[in-house]
Structure 1
Amino acid sequence: MEEARKGILAMAGACVIWGLSSMYYKLLSHVPPEEVLGHRTLWSLVFFGLVLAGQGRLGELGRLIVRPRALAAVALAALMISANWFLFILSIQIGHAVEASLGYYIFPLVAVALGFLFLGERHSAGKWAAVALACVAVGGLTWGLGVAPWISLALAGTFGVYGLIKRGLPAGPVVSVTAEVLLLAPLALVWLWGVHVHGWAGLTGRNLGAFGHDLSDSLMLMVSGPLTATPMILFSYAAKRVSYATVGLVGYINPTLQFLVATLVFREAFTQWHGLAFALIWAALALYSAESLRQERAARRAASSAGTSGTTRT
């Protein structure tokens, strides 16, 4: 099997896991989201650590976190991904999975704006038209429901900033994510200690301390680590073998599955305003994808032409 096909299959696998993970976290909806997040962080660290140890790459982790500037970037990335994970878990528990899926549909368009603002990227009129359509979709949904889709915007924003930070890290995605959860682990341990020893309750006002008291809950909390780490590893594998445009297109499997689970499995409300917003977002993504593919083909033709020209001169 050629490398590109392997990459596409790996990306599809990652997106299927991400897209269906909402059903897993729904089964843990009786456990406070802060507690779920704490265990997700700790067991992800265990899993990633074992992977790096098996590959003999733990030294890369040490070299990353001893550099002050890199450590500061990792800390900020850790804050963003932790907030993203928490918001996703919370949205599933409180019945806002539709909004969560909308957030991950919006993310590529948020990335366009962030690239322009912070990286000096110049985008075509087609991509800016896609961003404008997304803004109209969010505005229409806010008008129709009387409240902004804050969960969608926060998920798209935190993941967008996270991706922006990751671009500048001098390490691969698996090493950098391991560093992120390593920095978050002490906070997770303190929180879980408070939950089990002092009965701390989070935003939802609930305290459970499920781990160690219920075998099913304990196992599910432990599996949240591999559930988090496996798609990240698949994504890392895919990103090295297929173009970024292909990664983006296949990536829409994730929010599409989230949307289908939210509406068909969780039976969440889907109003005419949601229908209008999603229709506009899908149109924006179609425009964005078509423009990305056009630019990629143009870049390939230019590279091929330059290579041919160089060979002729030689």
Structure 2
Amino acid sequence: MSAHPPEPAATTVSNGKPADGDTLPGLILALSVYMMWGLLPLYLQLISDLPPMEVLAHRIIWSLPFAGVVILAAGQTRDVRAAIRRPRMLALAALCCIFISINWGVYIWAVSNAHTVDAALGYFINPLFSIALAAIILHEKLTKGQILAIGLAFCAVMILTIETGSLPLVALALPVSFGLYGLLKKLVPIGGNAGFTLEALIMSGPALAYIIYLEATGSGHFLNSLRNALLLVGCGAATAIPLMIYANAAKLLKLSTIGIMQYIAPSMIFLVAVLIFREPLELPKLSAFALIWTALVIYTLSMFRTRRSRKLKGG
């Protein structure tokens, strides 16, 4: 799930008109992609013995061919070429690359070092951090429910900090890096698939250079075994394919449905961490999760009330 997409600006059906409701294909696609993100730790665990930076580099490199196939099939190569010729867009995309690379790298490291529970907590915090960021940077007005939800999330972080004696870096780095990534994506005037391909192109240069350096110095693992090679190539598929599926699912669902379904992935990550990886769930973390889950319920109810109020005013 380290490649969480930003929420779409609007949901549309194939004729280009806004979707008035949810569709069964959309629900199936969204459920599939959130389950993929929820089960991603199981895949990353297979290569947990490899250095996280090397896994990150291969994840970037091998996501590019999969994204390229989709761009070619959709006839969106013109969008990517146009973006490359615009320095401001390239600069914004490069900033996006920094934050999404941090997000992916922290997530890979967390799974490899038995901090998957912290990663799940981070992705639960993510929507709350995003609305706080929107209020601070974009001056969006918050409802009382949203303010309360953010306050509870802050209390959860403080509990972990006080009880453990240090900031919960993984649980904070994931929402902060992705929140800033999402904010910057709003400033880049390019579609989701083309934008992801542009970012992959920018990141692929440093990633390829790092991989070549590792293999040249004998520190790389790609050529060590067929298993490693296949799993590292698979990281690209595990990154690009869910994002492309999500792009199609978002067109067939209401924003409120996407907003609710986004909790499927961190819930599954949490269950994988506790039930399969057997990571300990100490009382401070359990208390933090309780506060975050309460905050998300308040946030979700507030979101529904706001949307219902807007519909009534509009009607």
Tell whether the structures are fold-level matches, with TM greater than 0.5: yes
Q: d(CA) in 1 for partners of 2:204 and 2:129? A: 29
Q: d(CA) in 1 for partners of 2:83 and 2:297? A: 38
Which sits farther off after the overlay, 272-281 or 10-19?
A: 10-19
The one-letter code of the counterpart of 1:181 is A
2:176 matched to 1:157? yes
Unmatched runs of 5 consecutive residues or more in structure 1: 200-206, 306-314
Identity of aligned pairs, percent? 37
2:109 matched to 1:55? no
SS at match of 2:313: helix
SS at match of 2:252: coil
- CA-to-aligned-CA distance 1:70-103 (integer Å, 9 cap, x gap): 1111111111111100000000011100000000
Q: CA deviation at 1:3?
A: 5.5
- Aligned pair partner of 1:253 in 261, 264, 272: 264
The structure with the largest helix share of the pair is 1
2:94 matched to 1:83? no
Q: CA deviation at 1:148?
A: 1.4
SS at match of 1:123: coil
Partner of 1:279: 290
Structure 1's 230 and 63: CA in aligned 2 closer, same or farther, altered over 3 A? Answer: same
Q: Is the 8 A contact 1:8 1:250 kept in 2?
A: no
- CA-to-aligned-CA distance 1:18-76 (integer Å, 9 cap, x gap): 11101100110111111111111011011101111122211111112211211111111
Q: d(CA) in 2 for partners of 1:283 and 1:5? A: 29
> How many residue pairs align between the two structures?
296
- CA-to-aligned-CA distance 1:118-167 (integer Å, 9 cap, x gap): 11110101100000000001101111122211011000100101111111
Partner of 2:198: 179
Partner of 1:16: 35
Q: Is the 8 A contact 1:84 1:155 kept in 2?
A: yes
Q: Is the 8 A contact 1:12 1:251 kept in 2?
A: no
Q: Is the 8 A contact 1:174 1:236 kept in 2?
A: yes
Q: d(CA) in 1 for partners of 2:94 and 2:250? A: 23
SS at match of 2:23: helix
Larger Rg: 1
Q: d(CA) in 1 for partners of 2:274 and 2:32? A: 22
- Aligned pair partner of 2:85 in 66, 84, 105: 66
Q: d(CA) in 1 for partners of 2:298 and 2:248? A: 27
- Aligned pair partner of 1:131 in 150, 153, 170: 150
2:111 matched to 1:100? no
Over 6 Å off, 4+ runs? none
CA RMSD of aligned residues (A): 1.4
Q: CA deviation at 1:220?
A: 0.8
Partner of 1:44: 63
Q: TM-score, normalised by structure 1?
A: 0.91
2:138 matched to 1:119? yes
Which sits farther off after the overlay, 211-220 or 87-96?
A: 211-220
Partner of 2:254: 243
The one-letter code of the counterpart of 1:228 is T
Q: CA deviation at 1:7?
A: 2.1
Structure 1's 64 and 79: CA in aligned 2 closer, same or farther, altered over 3 A? Answer: same
Q: Is the 8 A contact 2:83 2:89 kept in 1?
A: yes
Partner of 1:219: 230
Q: TM-score, normalised by structure 2?
A: 0.91
Q: d(CA) in 2 for partners of 1:157 and 1:291? A: 22
What aligned pairs does 1:283-298 form with structure 2 within 5 A after superposition?
A: 283-298=294-309
The one-letter code of the counterpart of 1:15 is Y
Q: Is the 8 A contact 2:121 2:289 kept in 1?
A: yes
2:229 matched to 1:210? no
